[in-house]
Amino acid sequence: MSKRVAKAFSFFALLILALGVVAYQFSHTFQQASFPGVVFGTEVEISSRTQGKILRVEVEPNSSVRKGEVLAEVFDEEVSARIKAASDELKDLSRAVERARADPLLETQEFQAREKMTEVQAEIAALEVTLPNLVREIANASATVRIHEDQLKRAEKLFEGGAILITELEGRRLSLGNSRQALDSLRANLEQENLKGDALRKRIASYRQEIEQMKERSRKAITDMEFTLRQARGELDTLLARRSEMLLIAPQDGVVSRVWKSVGEVAAAGEPILNIYTGERLWAEIYPLSRDAGLLRPGDKLQVLLDPGGWVRLPARVQGILPVMQSEPTNSLFGATDSTHAVVLVEFDDLEKAKSTLRKGQKITATLVPHGSPGG
């Protein structure tokens, strides 16, 4: 029995002690000077780089975003129409270039020219067989002329000596004339055949030049079309780059703090569409009444309370006091009055913990840690 009484007594003693600690905590919290405040953080403003209508917004306030994520899209009707026209033109030019590269007319013309070249080359080949024969015949005819010349000289001497008759002398002269005439005829034939060969070779060169000119014209036409194609592709790339400007991309990780425009609204170039809190910097502003501003000095330690009970606290310190005062109307038993507040900048001792605990725009209460107290 005595043990149960002792246990009950111990339980109630511990309960009273705990309640005392809680009561002390509450009383200590409210005895300390406390000031209302708001959390601030670094923001990036996401603006439209071109004028247009908001086509879509993919995020909402307080939603987390990752770097490179599409946040919104602005629709520019003029740019979209130009992109479609440029795309259609690019397709037409591409098909025209392909047709030019596989042009059957060029192949037909080249084939016909090469057939003519083949015929002429056959004639040249025949000449190359005929010409050596003519050269040999001319050599033989030249030898015959020399023989007849020698025979005529001997006949003339014999005739002068009365050894032969005039008829035989005239016969020798006739033979020499015939052989010379045959030689001249062969030489004329050789010259004609050479001229014919030169003409045939010129025709071959002409056909080759014609083929090269056809190819050059085709190459030039294709080159011109390819140049136009590259210009069209460059124009399309420029327009697509402009369309990419209509996509609003998150420049870094963060949290959407505010959305300024809704779907269907028109945004001007440079007009903000939304803001992203990046978390690079985090601080707070507290607003003591002007009569209490003298309690705070740069470097003073604070406890930032995140809940009314003061159970969640973050250590911080006064960074500076701005030389401005804010006036705010309040109601009291004595009627409406204006309360003047100072603006005090607060920095957190553990910034990473503050980033993981707080959010931009969150309301807080900061209490001044008295000098000489633990942590003060």
* Residue 350 DSSP label: S
**Rounded-to-integer distance, Cα 289 and Cα 306, Å:** 20
User: Are 102 and 238 members of one domain?
Assistant: yes
Same domain for 115 and 150, yes or no, is: yes
pLDDT for 30 equals 41
CATH of the domain at 352: 2.40.30.170
Q: What is the mean pLDDT of residues 319-338?
A: 63
Q: Is the model's pLDDT at 95 over the cut of 50?
A: yes
Give the torsion sign (CA, 47, 52, 57, 60): positive
> Which segment of 25-29, 132-136, 211-215, 233-237 scores lowest on mean pLDDT?
25-29
Which of 79, 65, 92, 45 is CA-nearest to residue 229? 92
Determine the pLDDT at residue 22.
47
Is residue 91 one of the residues assigned to a domain? no
Q: Are 343 and 287 in contact (CB under 8 A)?
A: yes
What is the C-alpha to C-alpha distance for residues 369 and 376, in angstroms, rounded to an integer? 5
Please give the pLDDT value at position 26. 43
Residues 336 and 362 in one domain: yes
Per-residue pLDDT, 69: 92
Among the residues of the chain, which ranges form H helices?
2-31, 77-101, 104-160, 166-245, 351-357
Q: Are 364 and 39 in contact (CB under 8 A)?
A: yes
Q: Are residues 36 and 159 in the same domain?
A: no
| Encoded amino acid at 34, one letter | S
HSE of 7 in the Cβ direction (CA atoms, 13 Å)? Answer: 4
Last-in-domain residue among 242, 265, 300: 242
Which residues on neighbouring strands pair with residue 72, listed in sequence order? 57, 248
How many other β-carbons are positioned within 10 Å of the β-carbon of residue 291? 10
Count of Cβ atoms closer than 10 Å to residue 95 Cβ? 10
Does residue 202 lie within any of the structural domains? yes
Q: Are residues 339 and 259 in the same domain?
A: yes
Residue 311: phi and psi, rounded to 5, are -75, -30
Residue 256, SS3 per DSSP: strand
Query: What angle do helix axes 77-101 and 166-245 make, rounded to 10 degrees?
Result: 160
Interval 29-45: pLDDT, tens: 444 688 999 988 888 88
Least confident of 206-215, 282-291, 304-313: 304-313
The answer to whether residues 117 and 230 belong to one domain is yes
Residue 289 DSSP one-character state: B
Confidence of residue 366 (pLDDT cuts 50, 70, 90): very high
Domain that holds residue 150: 96-242
Average pLDDT, the chain: 82
- Please choose, from the candidates 294, 344, 307, 309, the residue with its C-alpha nearest in 3D space to the C-alpha of residue 29: 309
Assess whether 100 and 238 both reside in one domain: yes
The arithmetic mean of pLDDT across residues 68-87, rounded, is 83
Whether the Cβ atoms of residue 304 and residue 369 lie closer than 8 Å to each other: no
Q: What pLDDT is recorded for position 6?
A: 59
pLDDT at 21 over 70: no
